[in-house]
Amino acid sequence: MTRKYAVSEVTKHNNGNDLWIALHGKVYDITKFLKEHPGGEEVLLNLAGADATKCFDEVGHSQEAIQLKDTFEIGQLEGTFEAEGAAAGPSIDDDDWEYEEPKKESSPFLPVFIGLGVLVYAFLFYNFFY
């Protein structure tokens, strides 16, 4: 028999040490998946204790991801977040949610290597072609 969880119970599990989400009327304990999530921890932490259905569907997960989520299912959601006045989770269209590209740091030695390369080229050109 499938265990049923009230919305109020799901909302209590809203941090990185105890993270539940609701998807399509089912409840998932994804605490152990937090560090493995390809989209980063922050995405899941923003959905902790909430209904993540809209966000999950809008992202367009792979078939493997859809199958993987089933391994974290712990029961059925009893009621709805809207009826309880609880957070339904952010949508990717929300103004306060924005994807940030990872910052790429350039090497501080790059200009040094370029300068050395120019010097070596100048030395070779002067000594062999001039």
pLDDT tens digit sequence for 86-100: 555 555 555 555 556
Alpha carbons 27 and 80: distance in angstroms, whole number: 12
pTM over 0.85: no
* CA proximity to 43, closest of 98, 115, 103: 98
The residue type at 107:
S
Residues written for the chain: 130
- Per-residue confidence (pLDDT) for residue 62, from 0 to 100: 85
Q: Collapsing DSSP states into helix, strand and coil, what is residue 17?
A: coil
Confidence of residue 105 (pLDDT cuts 50, 70, 90): confident
- Per-residue confidence (pLDDT) for residue 81, from 0 to 100: 81
- Per-residue confidence (pLDDT) for residue 90, from 0 to 100: 53
Angle ∠(72,5,67) on CA atoms, nearest 5: 20
42-94: pLDDT as tens digits: 888 999 999 999 888 888 888 888 899 999 999 999 988 876 555 555 555 55
